[in-house]
Chain A
Amino acid sequence: MYLFEYQAKALMREWGIPVLEGMVATSERRALDVARELGEGPWVVKAQIHAGGRAQGRVDSADDLSGVEFTDTVLDVGRTAGRMLGARLATPQTMGHGETVNAVYIEPEVKSLAQLFVAFLVDGESAEPVCLASVRGGTQVERDVFDHPHSLIRMKLGSGSEISPAVGLEIASQLGLRISVRDAFARLIQQLHALFMAYDLSLIEVNPLAIRENDTLVALDARLTVDDNALFRQPGMAALASRTDVSQAEELAARYGFNFIQLDGDIGTFSSGAGLAMATLDALAHLDGRPANFLDVPPVLEVSRVKEAFLLVLSNPELRCLLVNVFGAGIMRCDTIADGLLLAHLEQPVKVPLVMRLAGTNAPLAVSRLERSGLSIQFVSDLESAAKTAVEHAHRPALTPKPQSITDRLSSWFSRTRTGSGP
Chain B
Amino acid sequence: MSILVDPSTRVICQGITGRQGTFHSERALSSGTPIVGGVRRGKGGATHLGVPVFDTVAQAMEETQANASVIFVPPANAAEAIIEAVDARIALVVCVTERIPVLDMVRVRAHMTGSRTILVGPNSPGIAVPGLGTLGIMPQGIFLPGTIGIVSRSSTLTYEAVDQTTRSGLGQSSCVGIGADPVGGISASQCLNLFMEDQQTKGIVLIGEVGGTAEEKAAEFLATVVNPKPVVAYIAGQTVPEGRRMGHAGTIIHYGMGTARSKIDALREVGVKVVFSPVEIGLAMAECLRQAGPDSPQGQDKS
Contact = CB atoms under 8 A, between A and B. Distances in A.
Contacts of B1: none
A330 B126 CA distance: 11
Contacts of A360: 139, 142, 159, 163
A132 B246 CA distance: 13
Given A122-B102, A229-B102, A282 B243 contact: no
B226 interface: no
Interface string A329-354: 11100000000000000000000000
Interface in A114-128: 117, 119-125, 127-128
Contact of A117 (B156, B213, B245, B248): B248
A350 to B, nearest CB: 24
A348 B131 CA distance: 46
B279 interface: yes
A331 B160 contact: no
B156 A132 contact: no
B24 interface: yes
B277 A279 contact: yes
Interface stretch (A99-107, A145-153, A238-246): A145-153
Nearest to A329: B139
A308 interface: no
B125 interface: yes
B245 A127 contact: no
A203 B250 contact: yes
A119 B247 contact: yes
A122 B139 contact: no
A159 B240 contact: no
B156 A142 contact: no
A282 B137 contact: no
Interface in B154-192: 154-160, 163, 180, 182-184
A51 interface: yes
B156 A146 contact: no
A361 B160 CA distance: 13
Contacts of A4: none
A145 B252 contact: yes
Nearest to B108: A127
B214 to A, nearest CB: 8
A130 interface: yes
B155 A121 contact: no
Contacts of B245: 2, 203, 225
A272 interface: yes
B248 A119 contact: yes
Contacts of B209: 274-275, 278
B154 A205 contact: no
A275 B255 contact: no
B232 to A, nearest CB: 15
Contact of A142 (B98, B107, B248): B248
Contact of A329 (B102, B159, B246, B252): B159
Contacts of B106: 122, 127-129, 159
Contacts of A203: 245-247, 249-250
B251 interface: yes
A398 B210 CA distance: 34
Given A149-B255, A275-B209, A278-B209, A329 B138 contact: yes
B229 interface: no
A225 B98 contact: no
A330 B177 CA distance: 13
A119 B249 CA distance: 6
A275 B153 contact: yes
A51 B20 contact: no
B99 interface: yes
Interface in B101-121: 101-107, 109-110
A293 B232 CA distance: 29
A298 interface: yes
Contact of B137 (A52, A146, A279, A330): A330
B163 A359 contact: yes
A396 B149 CA distance: 42
Contacts of B109: 127-128, 159
B249 A132 contact: yes
A207 B125 CA distance: 39
Interface string A127-141: 111101000000001
Interface string A280-294: 011111100000001
A230 B156 CA distance: 24
Most buried by B among A128, A329, A383: A329
Nearest to A134: B252
B114 to A, nearest CB: 14
24 contacts: A52-B247, A121-B249, A122-B106, A128-B110, A130-B253, A132-B252, A145-B252, A152-B252, A202-B182, A202-B246, A205-B247, A225-B245, A230-B104, A232-B76, A274-B156, A274-B180, A275-B153, A275-B156, A275-B158, A283-B277, A329-B137, A331-B137, A360-B163, A384-B279
Interface of B: 19-20, 23-24, 75-76, 98-107, 109-110, 125, 137-139, 142, 152-160, 163, 180, 182-184, 207, 209-210, 212-213, 217, 234, 236-241, 243-253, 255-256, 276-279
The 3 closest A-B pairs by CB, nearest first: A275-B154, A273-B156, A119-B249
